[in-house]
Amino acid sequence: MTSRMTVASPLLAFVFGASIALAQQPAAPAMPAVPQHTCVQPDFPGAFADSRRFDRFNKEYKAYSECIKKFTDETKALSDAIVEAGNKAIKEFNTFSQELAERQAAKK
């Protein structure tokens, strides 16, 4: 019975310590929802449509094109900001790790 306790005690201490370490880790931030565009595709007029209908289609097509361009510009700006935040976090971590390594080297 004592041999089980001798093995179990360090194991329990390790598991308890690991659970505390994991509990101290902040939760990963929730990723923002990816927006969907609300641009409306124009209906292509049939072969027998009059010129006014084609003119209206051309205006609707231009509006659709501008809407898609605006959407892609906005989503690119959002993705660029996310990438920049990730790169900043990596740089911060690398700087901190370098400082720790330098402190350890100075102790030797």
Q: What is the pLDDT of residue 25?
A: 75
Dist CA 34 CA 79 (whole Å): 10
| 38 contacts 68 by C-beta, under 8 angstroms | no
Q: What is the pLDDT of residue 32?
A: 76
Identify whether 47 is part of a domain: yes
pTM, rounded to two decimals: 0.61
Total domains in the fold of the chain: 1
| 68 contacts 37 by C-beta, under 8 angstroms | yes
Range of the domain at 38: 33-107
State the first-to-last Cα distance of the chain, in angstroms, to the nearest integer: 44
Question: What is the tens place of the pLDDT at every residue in 74-107?
Answer: 999 999 999 999 999 999 999 999 999 999 998 8
Residue 12: pLDDT over 70: no
Identify whether 22 is part of a domain: no
Identify whether 21 is part of a domain: no
Identify whether 16 is part of a domain: no
Identify whether 87 is part of a domain: yes
**What are the DSSP calls for 14-59, one per residue?**
HHHHHHHHHHHSPPPPPPPPPP-----PPPPPPTT--HHHHHHHHH
